[in-house]
């Protein structure tokens, strides 16, 4: 039996184990099969005789090479996970004495910048006529979302006793069951007052949720997502709007206006300021765009793109 056939047989045995003993889904098993085949082909091309000859240094070299060729960190992490699981299986069945992927981690991908709406788009979204209780509710809901930079779970969990319209404040419970007090903007307060005037039409029993369905129940996150898409469509926004985009927009606009990172961190309820710092990249992008469009020595002239050194 050739070493190549032997390797394939060992991988096949592992995949059978995942299916019959671990009860993994066919989709997951296909991912393991594909990743282990990719790794096997690579390591064989580098001289691997069998799986027991694979060393940690060779796995590290593969990670560096794959990352250098542009493979995403998430994809490399998945491959390493498959390799670790395969060698854990081999250790359990006394087929190997070490796991060459045990302490190796994939490089982290750069964080994608949050997608936001600009102030003009926010105005188009929220400055719509409210001609029904449904529209009054939706406008109040998303005004508050943007006004206070809420998370979706914080919005769905709001009860009427969490809001003090007279003081213009609300209290939310965020991640880690931590509470924070937040201001409510003028437009959001006005929208909430209009919603409260008709909320009783849908109220059933003693439901405390601020935002009700037409059946008098607390709104689900999915319903809120759907209502925002409908509101965006009715405003003519050609964007795939989702609730967290309003939170991102709040953070970006607050930071752009105040430049107070600590204050924005407190408003968002971030435990670590490094989480908030991603919005500084958005602010820098905006400033860079203004600079390129305004500075006489930064603007490109026609034909500049064709200039050669």
Q: Which residues are catalytic?
A: 151, 175, 244, 247, 270, 279
Nearest residue to 222 via CA among 208, 240, 242: 242
Contact (CB, 8 A) for 15 and 33: yes
179-183 and 163-164 strand pairing: unpaired
Distance CA 191, CA 271 (A): 30
CA dihedral 266, 270, 272, 276 (to 10 degrees): -80
Distance CA 172, CA 72 (A): 37
Nearest residue to 106 via CA among 133, 82, 130: 82
Contacts 24+ apart (CB under 8 A), 158-165: 158/209, 158/210, 158/211, 159/208, 159/209, 159/210, 160/208, 160/209, 160/210, 161/208, 162/210, 163/192, 163/210, 165/189, 165/192, 165/193, 165/196
Distance CA 42, CA 64 (A): 13
Report, in angstroms and rounded to the nearest whole number, the Rg of the chain calculated over CA atoms.
27
- H/E stretch holding 152: helix 152-156
- Taking CA atoms, 306 is separated from 116, 229, 298, 299, 302, in Å, by 33, 42, 16, 15, 9
Region for 50 from its dihedrals, namely left if φ exceeds 0, alpha if ψ lies in -120 to 50, beta otherwise: beta
């Amino acid at each position: 039996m050739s070493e190549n056939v032997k390797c394939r047989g060992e991988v096949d045995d592992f995949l059978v184990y995942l299916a019959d003993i671990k009860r993994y889904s066919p989709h997951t098993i296909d991912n393991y099969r594909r990743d282990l085949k990719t790794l096997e082909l690579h390591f064989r091309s580098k001289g691997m005789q069998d799986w027991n000859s694979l060393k940690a240094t060779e796995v590290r070299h593969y990670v560096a090479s794959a990352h250098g060729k542009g493979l995403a960190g998430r994809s490399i992490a998945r491959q390493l996970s498959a390799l670790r699981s395969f060698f854990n299986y081999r250790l359990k069945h006394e087929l190997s004495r070490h796991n060459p992927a045990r302490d190796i981690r994939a490089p982290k991908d750069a964080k994608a910048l949050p997608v936001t709406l600009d102030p003009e788009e926010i105005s188009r979204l929220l400055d719509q006529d409210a001609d029904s209780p449904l529209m009054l509710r939706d406008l109040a809901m998303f005004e508050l979302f943007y006004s206070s930079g809420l998370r979706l779970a914080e919005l769905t969990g709001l009860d009427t006793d969490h809001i003090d319209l007279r003081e213009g404040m609300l209290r939310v419970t965020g991640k880690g069951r931590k509470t924070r007090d937040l201001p409510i903007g003028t437009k959001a307060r006005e929208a909430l007052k209009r919603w409260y005037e008709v909320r009783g039409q849908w109220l059933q029993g003693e439901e405390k949720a601020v935002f009700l369905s037409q059946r008098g129940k607390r709104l689900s996150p999915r319903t809120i997502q759907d209502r925002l898409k409908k509101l965006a469509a009715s405003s003519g926004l050609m964007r795939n709007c989702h609730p967290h985009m309003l939170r991102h927009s709040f953070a970006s606009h607050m930071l752009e206006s105040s430049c107070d990172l600590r204050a924005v961190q407190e408003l968002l309820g971030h435990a670590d300021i490094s989480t908030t710092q991603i919005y500084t990249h958005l602010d820098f992008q905006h400033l860079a765009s203004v600079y390129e469009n305004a500075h006489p020595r930064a603007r490109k002239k026609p034909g500049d793109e064709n200039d050669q050194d």
